[in-house]
């Protein structure tokens, strides 16, 4: 059921022990929003704990209180009276769903979130879930400390491509400015998040070596097989290297995370890639979306190219 931000705040006030989570393969917005929410709720006297059912890439581990994130183990339970799911729908939280049967409050900004049977506050116009958590903190009357501000700024910066993507609005920049006033060091975030290991730079070279062009230059794609992909901690930013090609509208990267498990990332300048991702079982934003295809890499590439072609037709 769709609810208001005020409704969401009311449900949080009524809870005492809150389990916070986000999607598997977490990005800056997922980690930033969950950590910020944890600190906000603890400042209000709540017992709040973050669980993420995945590894978190190295760059994000510099965020305040990262070391407190827990990963669920088999047979574990958590006695919560509210499950707060951020930046995704309930079907993408992995084994965290097995920790509790508490009522769910889902807070998101993805247009493809169509969760049913749970309380959902979805604000697709927000640049990041961290933008919503900032508003929620104000609704709850919580103080934005430097640590909270740092986590929120990290989510805003990463989900907007450091304020370069089309989802960057006046409100986004106003909130970013307020977070800086609260104690954020923008240079710290940018330096840490742009940093790459030598292996990751070599990974980018391998990805670029696989570059293919489709549909008269309108689509550019790269693929990384499992043997190559497992050498790198992260492929974050790889796709941006081909999105800038002047003729390209849609760019994609397919990473074989395990044999017959391919992670697809898409970026676009005009085509609604969230529709393409949704048709393939994924989701995301109009200009940035993704999905997972459980099939060999060659098959995943073929299916994705056909889906993108249909997107041009629509």
Instruction: Name the DSSP letter for residue 3.
Output: -
Could you give the CA distance from residue 173 to residue 286 in angstroms, rounded to a whole number? Answer: 20
Grade residue 196 by pLDDT with cuts at 50, 70 and 90. Answer: confident
3-state secondary structure of 232: coil
Burial class of residue 98, CB neighbours in 10 A (0-12, 13-18, 19+): middle
Burial class of residue 168, CB neighbours in 10 A (0-12, 13-18, 19+): middle
Q: Which CATH architecture has domain 198-313?
A: Roll (3.10)
Domain boundaries, the chain: 5-194, 198-313
CATH of domain 5-194: 3.90.1640.10
Question: What is this structure's pTM?
Answer: 0.88
pLDDT value at 314 more than 70 = no
Closest CA relative to residue 23, chosen from 255, 290, 310: 290
Q: 170-181 and 146-159 are packed helices; what angle lies between their axes, rounded to 10 degrees?
A: 150
- Same CATH topology for 5-194 and 198-313: the answer is no
Could you give the CA distance from residue 26 to residue 60 in angstroms, rounded to a whole number? Answer: 9
Grade residue 313 by pLDDT with cuts at 50, 70 and 90. Answer: low
Mean pLDDT of 87-116: 92
pLDDT in tens, 283-306: 888 888 899 999 999 999 999 999
pLDDT in tens, 128-155: 999 999 999 999 999 999 999 999 999 9
Instruction: Please list the residues that pair with 264 across neighbouring strands.
Output: 254, 291
What is the Cβ-side half-sphere exposure of residue 289, based on CA atoms within 13 angstroms? 28
Mean pLDDT of 248-262: 94
111-116 contacts at long range (C-beta below 8 A, 24 or more positions apart): 111/274, 111/285, 111/286, 112/274, 112/277, 112/278, 112/282, 112/283, 112/284, 112/289, 113/88, 113/89, 113/283, 114/89, 115/89, 115/90
């Amino acid at each position: 059921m769709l609810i208001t931000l005020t409704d969401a705040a009311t449900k949080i006030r009524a809870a005492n022990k809150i389990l916070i989570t986000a999607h598997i393969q977490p990005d800056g917005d997922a980690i930033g929003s969950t950590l910020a929410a944890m600190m906000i709720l603890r400042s209000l006297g709540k017992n709040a704990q973050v669980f993420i059912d995945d590894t978190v890439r190295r760059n994000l581990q510099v965020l305040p209180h990262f070391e407190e994130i827990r990963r669920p183990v088999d047979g574990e339970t958590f006695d919560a009276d509210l499950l707060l799911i951020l930046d995704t729908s309930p079907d993408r939280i992995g084994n965290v769903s097995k920790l509790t049967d508490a009522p769910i409050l889902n807070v998101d900004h993805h247009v493809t979130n169509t969760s049913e049977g749970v309380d959902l506050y979805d604000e697709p116009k927000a640049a990041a879930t961290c933008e919503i958590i900032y508003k929620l903190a104000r609704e709850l009357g919580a103080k934005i400390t430097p640590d909270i501000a740092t986590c929120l700024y990290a989510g805003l910066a990463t989900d907007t491509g450091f304020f370069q993507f089309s989802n960057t609005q006046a409100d986004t920049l106003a909130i970013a400015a307020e977070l800086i006033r609260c104690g954020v060091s923008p240079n710290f975030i940018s330096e840490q998040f742009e940093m790459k290991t030598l292996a990751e730079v070599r990974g980018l070279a391998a990805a670029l070596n696989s570059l293919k062009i489709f549909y008269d230059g309108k689509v550019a794609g790269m693929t990384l097989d499992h043997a190559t992909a497992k050498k790198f901690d992260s492929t974050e930013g790889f796709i941006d290297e081909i999105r800038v090609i002047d003729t390209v509208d849609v760019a994609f990267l397919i990473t074989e995370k395990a044999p017959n498990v391919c992670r697809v990332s898409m970026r676009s300048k005009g085509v609604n890639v969230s529709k393409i991702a949704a048709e393939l079982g994924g989701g995301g934003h109009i200009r940035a979306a993704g999905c997972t295809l459980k099939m060999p890499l060659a098959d995943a590439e073929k299916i994705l190219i056909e889906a993108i072609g249909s997107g041009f037709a629509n």
